[in-house]
Amino acid sequence: MAIPTFVDQVTLHLAAGRGGNGVASVKREKFKPLGGPDGGNGGQGGSIILQVDTSVTTLVDYHHSPKRRADNGGQGAGDHKNGGNGKDLVLVVPDGTLVKDADGNELADLVGHGTTMVVAQGGRGGLGNAALASSKRKAPGFALLGEPGDELVVRLELKVVADIGLVGFPSAGKSSLIAAISRARPKIADYPFTTLIPNLGVVTAGETTFVVADVPGLIEGAAEGRGLGHDFLRHIERCAALVHVVDTASIEPGRNPLDDLEVIEGELARYGGLEDRPRLVALNKVDVPDGQDIADMVVEELRGRGMRVFEVSAASGAGLRELTFAMAEIVVASREVAPDAAPERIVLRPKAVDASDDFEVVRTDDGWRVRGTKPERWVRQTDFSNEEAVGFLADRLNRLGVEIKLARMGAEEGDAVIIGPENNSVVFDFKPSIEAGAEMLGRRGEDERLRENRPARERRRDIAEAMETKSEEEARADVARRLDEERKKKGPNRSSGSSGVGPMSYEIGSKDDPDWDGSDD
């Protein structure tokens, strides 16, 4: 089997890099064993980026190795060392590459040198315990995990970017014409189907510069796959105009310019979508005496049908100036209607970074399913082997209102709560934190030994109260009341926002946390 050198359709399997994990570490110094949290953050996973490079003309590289992966982010380390970011993977593609998802929906049309698309986003790095620490949670004994990067299948389809498309029978002289009017040097030979890939040539006529493409020759029945078939007509879809290249010197029996033209129009009609493109006719090979005679015979007939006809010779150069100026005229007119988008650099992202607080809860046969960008991300960031990390997750979910919503919808203790999509979810037992109110006696992540400047009076009171034999419920009510009083004492700016939320309003997140909402209590 021949090894292809030109490929214009490929399916890619992409995996962006995973974010590095944050680390939980405590600074150790002589005589000060608990010097505070110093765990660094994980690095960002590398993204996969598609970038148009006009010097690339084929997708053949991806045909040979369709699986591509970007680097993972590095893990954080102690002493506030952040992990390095994973390197982005840049995949160069030809100008005019269409990007589709696995279902064939178009995601982007990459046109113009330098046009860039982040097609698979790297995962976020997890925060280390230093970044998770706050005035209230002084020594978190946990860190967040890095998130996985996007994994997806995309289809790339090249649709050549050209202003003028040349169509015609094999050996009509399409490639010869491109060679004669531009600096392109396509393969030319006197056997049919010489051209197996579209050729592009840059043409200048007067002030106007434009791109001409030829496609492999068409024959009758191309729609049914005869010859090279219709596949290559995709490459003239972007063209503003089509030029029929007609062979006036063909010695094949039964061929004549008028019938040839009709056959090609028939194939274009069966391909569809090209009806609105203006047409020019180039009667080629008039340097051959027979060719000139035949051209003379049909030129008036064609003009009578309202077509602009040019008698040319790719070999001698006759008539080429008139032809290229006519092409330029159409190009100018079409550019006025739709100005050239190239060559500015656009960055496209397949999905917006979703920072919304929205989530939904639905009842399922097995329990309750929670869907939402934040809850799902928080689950991915959680190290479930660390109780404190799980508690932190519970706090975040409460803060967002997940627990309240579940309770309002009728969830009962012990019900299964599933967070995430069907193929990738985590199941919890519903346990409203109001039942675990004892946590309020010491905030999560708060190491009492670090609270040096707490008044002795306060400490004595805490201990006395902890020793009192109150019922659990009484203790909770008491704690809530005391917290409320304390907030009132500290003035209005301390209690703003969270008052009324009651015992579930702990401070969570930190300034480094992308999900932190900025309210410092």
Ligand X SMILES: Nc1nc2c(ncn2[C@@H]2O[C@H](COP(=O)(O)OP(=O)(O)OP(=O)(O)O)[C@@H](O)[C@H]2O)c(=O)[nH]1
Task: Summarize as ranges the residues that interact with ligand X (CB under 6 A).
Answer: 168, 170-176, 188-190, 192-195, 216-217, 284-285, 287-288, 313-315
CA 276 – CA 302 distance, rounded (Å): 19
Q: Which is nearer to Mg ion, 194 or 499 (CB)?
A: 194
Task: Report the C-alpha gap between 190 and 172 in whole angstroms.
Answer: 9
Q: Report the nearest approach of ligand X to the CB of residue 228 (Å).
A: 9
Closest contact distance (angstroms) between CB of 176 and ligand X is 3
The residues with which 429 forms a beta bridge, in sequence order, are 416
287 binds, among Mg ion, ligand X, none (CB under 5 to 8 A by kind): ligand X
Of the pair 114, 192, the CB lying nearest ligand X is at: 192
Q: How far is the CB of 161 from Mg ion (least distance, A)?
A: 19
* 176 belongs to the binding site for Mg ion (CB under 5 A): no
Piece of the chain touching Mg ion by CB under 5 A; list 112-120, 192-200, 405-413, 438-446: 192-200
Q: Which residues make Cβ contacts (< 8 Å) with residue 125, sequence separation at least 6?
A: 19, 20, 21, 22, 41, 42, 43, 44, 45, 73, 76, 82, 83, 85, 146
| Near Mg ion in 86-125, by CB under 5 A | none
Q: Of 175 and 292, which CB lies nearer to Mg ion in the complex structure? A: 175
Q: Nearest approach, Cβ of 233 to Mg ion (angstroms)?
A: 15
Cβ nearer to ligand X, comparing 6 with 193? 193
Cα dihedral sign for 429, 433, 438, 443?
Answer: positive
Q: Which is closer to ligand X, CB of 217 or CB of 437?
A: 217
| Rg of the chain, C-alpha, whole Å | 35
Tokens of 414: 């012990």
Among residues 35 and 170, whose Cβ is nearest to ligand X?
170
Say how far apart CA 326 and CA 329 lie, in whole Å.
5
Residue selected from 195, 284, 382, 398 as contacting Mg ion according to rule CB under 5 A: 195
**Residues 386, 383: Cα–Cα separation, whole Å:** 6
Q: Give least dist CB 173 to ligand X, A.
A: 3
Q: How far apart are CA 476 and CA 346, in angstroms?
A: 56
Q: How far is the CB of 194 from Mg ion (least distance, A)?
A: 5
What is the dihedral angle through the alpha carbons of 448, 450, 451, 453, rounded to the nearest 10 degrees? 150
194 lines the binding site for Mg ion (CB under 5 A): yes
From Mg ion, ligand X, none, interface partner of 192 (C-beta below 5 to 8 A by class): ligand X
Q: Does residue 175 touch Mg ion according to CB under 5 A? A: yes
- Give the Cα separation of 342 and 344 in Å (integer): 5
- Specify the length of the chain in residues: 521
Binding site for Mg ion (CB under 5 A): 175, 194-195
